[in-house]
């Protein structure tokens, strides 16, 4: 079944989250999977288990409590967010394998840029030299996945200093620009989408 890619540009977080919920609630076995590529205005999001104490410095940035997994993270312009609206039932794999394959797509994409990245089995996401460059947060409902990944491309990283990213005190973050590669968010999406397609398709073939 074909997978639709939607380039939604700079959009507010809450309406996008609500649209993901509506899409997931209304999808059927015949609904094609969709990947939504977006950027968000500055916003902190707290996952289902998110603890407010991980917001360590007051700011004017909006805080949204949402229904994904994980703790607190930051979204802002210059960060690529890809929402993965996919039918988990069709894959025939476990959640850990799904996370690993999404991480591997990011690792492979960064590898093409000459950036050596890796995952951590104990802390989902993708890292470069001990610093986090991409985060994952998923929700599975009725066998379907929504929410997704964020990849730091060329953004102001300062708001990450005001939180414990993903619940880890002192965790440093980085971005593609700091690794010596100049890309726009659109160019990053253009490179990442084929890798996601490849790894998600592999999942379907294993079902």
**138 near 100, Cβ under 8 Å?**
no
Q: State the pLDDT confidence band at 203, using cuts at 50, 70 and 90.
A: very low
The arithmetic mean of pLDDT across residues 140-160, rounded, is 95
pLDDT higher at 88 or 44: 44
List, as residue ranges, the binding site.
Answer: 68-75, 135-137, 148-150
Residue 80's SS3 state is: strand
- The pLDDT value recorded for residue 52 is 86
Contacts of residues 168-176 at CB distance under 8 Å and 24 or more positions apart, as own/partner, are 168/123, 171/131, 171/132, 172/130, 172/131, 172/132, 173/131, 173/132, 173/133, 174/128, 174/129, 174/131, 174/132, 174/133, 175/78, 175/79, 175/133, 176/110, 176/113, 176/115, 176/133, 176/151, 176/152
**143 near 89, Cβ under 8 Å?**
yes
pLDDT higher than threshold 50 for residue 206:
no
**Residues in CB range of 186: below 8 A, 6 or more apart:** 7
The arithmetic mean of pLDDT across residues 12-39, rounded, is 96
What integer best gives the mean pLDDT of the chain? 92
List, as residue ranges, the binding site for substrate.
Answer: 68-75, 135-137, 148-150
- The pLDDT value recorded for residue 202 is 55
In this predicted model, what pLDDT tens digit does every residue of 91-101 receive, in sequence order? 888 888 999 99
**What are the structural domains, with CATH classification, of the chain?**
4-206 (3.30.930.10)
Q: How many CB atoms lie within 10 A of CB 162?
A: 16
pLDDT higher than threshold 50 for residue 89:
yes
**161 near 99, Cβ under 8 Å?**
no
Residue 77's SS3 state is: coil
Token representation of residue 145: 């996945």
Q: Which residues are catalytic?
A: 166
pLDDT higher than threshold 60 for residue 205:
no
Distance CA 201, CA 3 (A): 10
In this predicted model, what pLDDT tens digit does every residue of 28-64 receive, in sequence order? 989 999 999 999 999 999 999 888 899 999 899 999 9
């Amino acid at each position: 079944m074909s997978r639709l890619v939607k380039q939604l540009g700079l959009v507010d977080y809450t309406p996008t989250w609500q649209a993901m919920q509506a899409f997931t609630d209304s999808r059927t076995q015949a609904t094609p999977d969709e990947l939504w590529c977006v950027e968000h205005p500055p916003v902190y999001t707290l996952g289902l288990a998110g603890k407010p104490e991980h917001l360590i410095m007051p700011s004017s940035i909006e805080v949204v409590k949402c229904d994904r997994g994980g703790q607190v993270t930051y979204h802002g312009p210059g960060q690529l967010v890809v929402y993965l609206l996919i039918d988990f039932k069709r894959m025939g794999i476990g959640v850990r394998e799904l996370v690993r394959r999404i991480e591997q797509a990011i690792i492979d994409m960064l590898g093409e840029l000459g950036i050596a990245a890796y995952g951590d089995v104990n802390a989902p996401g993708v890292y470069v030299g001990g610093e986090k460059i991409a985060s994952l947060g998923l929700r599975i409902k009725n066998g379907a996945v929504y929410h997704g990944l964020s990849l730091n491309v060329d953004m102001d990283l300062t708001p990450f200093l005001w939180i414990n990213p993903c619940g880890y005190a002192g965790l440093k973050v980085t971005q593609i620009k700091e690794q010596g590669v100049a890309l726009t968010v659109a160019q990053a999406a253009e490179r990442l989408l084929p890798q996601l397609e490849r790894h998600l398709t592999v999942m379907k073939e294993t079902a």
